[in-house]
Structure 1
Amino acid sequence: MSWRTLALGVLTLCYPIAVYVGLQYWPPRTVALLLLALLALRLAAVRHAGWRPQALAAAALALVVFASGAAMPLKLYPALVNAVLLAVFGWSLWRGPSVVERIARLREPALSSSGVAYTRKVTAAWCLFFFINGSVAAATALFASNRVWALYNGAIAYVLIGAMFAAEWLVRRQVLRGTRA
C-alpha cells in the first residue's frame, strides 16, 4: 500500500469531521466539490472494483447537493455507506459464499464446514451491525445537530466498528479453541 493510498484512506475516514468543519465556513456546494475531488483521488488510487458502488453512491449524493444546495445529502453519506455494506454482506449470504468466508479463505483455502457455518454467522452479525449503525447514522443526520452527527459518525461509529472486530476476534479464538479440544 502506497503512502498516497494510506493518506487518502485516512482522509476518507475523516469525512464527517471534514463535512462538519467545511459547513461552518463554506456553502454545501463547495464542501461537495471538495469531497468530489477527494473521491476522484481515491478512485484513481484504489483500483479494486469493490469500492466502486460506494464511490458511485457518494457521487450521486454530491450531485444532489449541487442540484439542491442542501447539506443534508452530505450528512446522509455514512448511512448510505452502511446501506451499501449491508447490501453487499446480505447478498453474499443469499448468493454465497459469504463475504467473511471469502476473507477467511484467503488465509485458509480449505475451510472446514464448521468454519463456513461460523463465517456465515459472522457475516449475519455484520449485517445486523450495518443495519443498526446505518439507522443511527441516518437518525443523527435527520434529527441531531451537526456536532452530534459528526461526533457519532466521526468517532463513536469507528469505536463501535473496532469493538465489533475485537469481539469477533475473541469469539473466533473461543470457537477455534473448542474445535481443537
Structure 2
Amino acid sequence: MARGLNALIGLLTALYPAAVYFGLQYLQPRLIALILAALLLLRLALLRTDWSKPLLLAGVAYAGFAAWSNQAIALRFYPALVNAAMLTIFAASLFYPPTIVERLARLQQPDLPAKGVLYTRRVTQIWCGFFVVNGAIAAATALWSSFQVWSLYNGLIAYLLMGLLFVGEYWLRQRVMEPE
C-alpha cells in the first residue's frame, strides 16, 4: 500500500509543471503550493530512510514560501530546486561511496566487478553534469520565459532528456560491461 502511494505521489510531483500551467487558470498560486507541500509531507511520512528527509523538508519550506508569497513566479522554481536536490544526492555519493548509480547497478549485479564500480562512478559524474545543466535551464525558464515555454521544458523536454540519458547509458552499459 505504502509503495503504491509513494509511486502515486512521485507521479503527481512529476506532473507539477502541467499542474501549475493548468491549475493557475482556476486556482490561486497559494493553493497549488499548498497541494505540493501536502504531497511532500505525505511522502516524508512514508519515508523509510533518513537520507532524503532534509531534501523533502527543503521542498516543503519552498512550497511554504510559494504559498506565503501567493505569486505564480514562485511556483516556477520547483524544478530547479529538484535538480539541485538530485545534484546534491548524486554528488554526495561521489564523496561517500558507493555512488547512487553503483547502488542501482548492484540491485541487478550484486558482485559488481572493479570495472563496473569505475563505470558507475563515471555515470554518476555524468548525471551530476546533467543536473547542473538541466537545473540551470529550469531556472532560466523560470526567470525569463513564458509559462508555456516553462511548462513545455520542465514538464516534457526535461523528462525526454532524462529518458534519453537513461536509455543511452543502459545501452552503453550493455556493451561496456559485457564479460570478456
Q: TM-score, normalised by structure 2?
A: 0.90
From the two aligned structures, give the one with the greater helix fraction. Answer: 1
* Unaligned ranges ≥5, structure 2: none
Alignment check: 8 A CA contact 1:8 1:42 kept:
yes
2:23 aligns with 22
Runs of 4+ in structure 1 off by over 4 angstroms are none
Q: Which residue of 2 aligns with 1:8?
A: 9
**1:46: Cα distance to partner?**
4.1
Mark the CA change 1:6 to 1:95 in structure 2 (over 3 Å): closer, same or farther.
closer
1:61 and 1:74 in contact (8 A); partners too? no
Opposite residue 63 of structure 2, the aligned amino acid is A
- 2:59 and 2:41 map into 1 onto residues whose CA distance is 11
- Structure 1: stretches of 5+ with no match in the other structure: none
* Mean CA deviation greater in 126-135 or 59-68: 59-68
Q: Contact 2:13 / 2:36 at 8 angstroms: preserved in 1?
A: no
State how far apart, in whole Å, the 2-side matches of 1:88 and 1:38 are: 20
Q: Is the 8 A contact 2:41 2:60 kept in 1?
A: no
Match of 1:90 in 2: 91
Aligned to 1:69: 70
Shift of 1:29: 1.2
Give the alignment of 1:36-55 within 5 angstroms. Answer: 36-55=37-56
Q: Distance in 2 between matches of 1:175 and 1:115?
A: 9
CA shift for structure 1 position 117: 0.6
Q: Distance in 1 between matches of 2:51 and 2:72?
A: 27
Question: CA–CA distance in 2 between the matches of 1:150 and 1:31?
Answer: 15
**Partner Cα distance (2:55, 2:145) in 1:** 24
Displacement of 1:66 in angstroms is: 3.0
CA deviation after TM superposition for structure 1 residue 170, in Å: 0.8
**2-structure distance, mates of 1:50, 1:160:** 26
Letter in 2 for 1:108: Q
Identity among equivalent positions (%) equals 50
- Cα 1:157–1:94 change in 2 (3 A) is same
1:170 alignment counterpart: 171
| Contact 2:83 2:135 (C-alpha < 8 Å) held by counterparts | yes
Distance 2:77 2:137 in 1: 11
How far is the alpha carbon of 1:110 from its aligned partner? 2.1
TM-align CA RMSD: 1.8
Deviations 1:52-98 (A, max 9, x none): 23321221112212332222232111111111111111111123221
Distance across 2 between alignment mates of 1:5 and 1:67: 27
* Corresponding letter in the other structure for 1:157: A
The residue type paired with residue 23 of structure 1 is L
Query: C-alpha offsets along residues 117-147 of structure 1, whole Å, 9 cap, x if unaligned?
Result: 1011000010011111111111111111111
